[in-house]
Amino acid sequence: MRNIIFIAPPAAGKGTQSNLLKEHFGYIHISTGDLLRAEIASGSKLGMEVKNIIDIGNLVSDDLMIDIIQNKLTGIKGKPFILDGFPRTLNQAKVLDEILDDDYEVIYLELDKEDAIKRIEGRLTCSCGKSYNLNDEELKPKVTGICDNCGKKLVKRDDDNVEAFIIRYDNFLNNTKVLVDYYNNKNKLHIVDVNRNINDIFNDISRIVAND
């Protein structure tokens, strides 16, 4: 099993596809957004600092993110993993190159701004990692406001509003999108159109994972 790196604009479905890959193939899912939100929930000083950055839609510093990822990758001891949310800058990608062998594939989840903003507006999330969307009949929770998976209360992320989205999307265009060329030049890139239903997207991704 190849390791997977997801590159995507906000709300493209990295978390949803990572959960499916984890369920079907047993990957370890490393979501930097989830790790940062857990740090915030712990009430630590570091959590308070990153909350101010994340809530307005900005990127956390490369140094902190690299530290977090290095620790995580050491902890999983060579098991196959998915990176969801890292790298997000060219600097992060270059440092990652020094850590990883060549055994990974990069999947770019392609979604335009208008579709992404609609998803952000309707999104509710659970602390267990599952996301829902109130603007999509198929993606609504069975019971209003409650996670189908674990029964916990769904919440709206503090950065899931139009103002923060615009900054997040601009950060994606200005900092992250260069990684598409970067990995294409290394022959690592697979592009998946994610303006489709979850299962069709997952089938495409499964094929990429199986062929490599």
| Contact footprint for ligand ATP (CB under 6 A) | 10-12, 14-15, 32-33, 36, 53-54, 57-60, 65, 85-86, 88, 92, 159, 168
Closest CB to Mg ion among residues 72, 212 = 72
207 is an active site residue: no
Angle between helices 14-25 and 198-211 (to 10 degrees): 60
Active site residue 37: no
Binding partner of 129, given ligand ATP, Mg ion, none, CB within 5-8 angstroms per partner class: none
- The residue range among 15-23, 72-80, 116-124, 167-175 that interacts with Mg ion, by the rule CB under 5 A, is 15-23
Q: Is 157 a catalytic residue?
A: yes
The catalytic position among 14, 119, 153, 188 is: 14
**Known active-site residue 168:** yes
For residue 209, the minimal CB distance to ligand ATP (Å) is: 19
Contact residues toward Mg ion (CB under 5 A) are 15, 33
User: Could you give the residue numbers annotated as active site?
Assistant: 14, 88, 123, 157, 168
